[in-house]
Amino acid sequence: MNKDTRLILVGGGGFGRELASWTDHCAEAGSLPPLAGFIDDRPQAMDGHITPWLGHFKDFRVNDEDRFLLAVGNPATKALMVESLRERGGKFASLIHPSVVLGRNHRHGEGVIMAPFSMNTADTVLGDFVTILSFSGLGHDASAGDFTTISSHVDVMGGANLGKRVMVGSGARIMPNIHVGDDARIGAAALVLRRVPAGATMFTPAAKRLRLGEPRSSS
């Protein structure tokens, strides 16, 4: 990137506001240029923030100096947006927050987002447009495929492999050497102990109210 690069968020809303803050940190550290604005079909998506709206997604005209960051969590939506922008000549940036911890031999593809306090240890691989949110990480020799989103407080343990377009909910744990197939969905707080087929949805039971017995009467 050079001084003429326009860094543009794709999507506003809650994730967009978070990503705007993280780009500020990266700009201060010198790893990304300042944020130019965001595109979204909702002009009001970032009301109250200084990030300017640059236009609707569907008819945004891409310039050579534009580089995009995806403020989108849903893996399938990310894939569709990337396809649309690439058809218009779009190119993409990666955001790796200054607080991220990366071990030796870490590799990542295009358009990766690594949020504050996330971690990848030794010999990890991230495909294109993988998102890892805060306090999540990959153990040694683990990997995540293109367009996968890993929510906050997720532990992908050593040797685990997430396929393409996988969505992992907050607080989930993927045990060592487990394979999760393409397009699978792992619910919040789920503990994954066995291979997950492609397209499967795994979940953990919701919390239930503990009903205590009637208090004993004193005599």
Same domain, 60 and 78: yes
In a domain? residue 104:
yes
pLDDT for position 212: 79
Spatial contact of 70 and 111, defined as CB atoms under 8 Å apart:
yes
Q: What is the pTM of this model?
A: 0.92
Instruction: Give the DSSP H or E segment for 47.
Output: none
Same domain, 124 and 141: yes
In a domain? residue 46:
yes
- What is the DSSP-derived secondary structure letter of residue 215? P
> Which candidate, 215, 194, 127, places its Cα nearest to that of 163?
127
> Which candidate, 116, 114, 26, 30, places its Cα nearest to that of 70?
114
pLDDT for position 215: 59
Angle at 100 between CA 35 and CA 158, to 5 degrees: 135
CATH number of 39's domain: 3.40.50.20
Same domain, 110 and 164: yes
**Residue 105, token pair as written in the block:** 């031999």
In a domain? residue 111:
yes
In a domain? residue 22:
yes
**What is the CB-side half-sphere exposure of residue 97 using CA atoms within 13 A?**
23
- Give the tens place of pLDDT for each residue, 4-21: 899 999 999 899 999 999
DSSP 125-158: EE-TT-EE-TT-EE-TT-EE-TT-EE-TT-EE-T
pLDDT for position 131: 98
**Residue 60, token pair as written in the block:** 């945004």
Is residue 24 classed as helix, strand or coil in its secondary structure?
Answer: helix
**Cα–Cα dist 79/204, whole Å:** 27
**Cα–Cα dist 95/93, whole Å:** 7
Q: State the total domains in the chain.
A: 2
pLDDT for position 211: 83
Same domain, 60 and 102: no
Spatial contact of 19 and 69, defined as CB atoms under 8 Å apart:
yes
pLDDT for position 206: 79
In a domain? residue 215:
no
**Residue 125, token pair as written in the block:** 């691989």
Bridge partners of 113? 95, 131
Q: For residue 119, give its domain range.
A: 97-203
Bridge partners of 53? 38
CATH number of 180's domain: 2.160.10.10
Tokens 């744990």 label which residue? 173
pLDDT for position 218: 55
Q: How many CB atoms lie within 10 A of CB 25?
A: 15
Same domain, 43 and 102: no
C-alpha dihedral sign at 189, 120, 201, 75: positive
- pLDDT values of the chain reduced to their tens digit, one per residue, 219 residues: 667 899 999 999 899 999 999 999 999 999 999 999 999 999 999 988 889 999 999 999 999 999 999 999 999 999 999 999 999 999 999 999 999 999 999 999 999 999 999 999 999 999 999 999 999 999 999 999 999 999 999 999 999 999 999 999 999 999 999 999 999 999 999 999 999 999 999 998 877 888 876 555 554
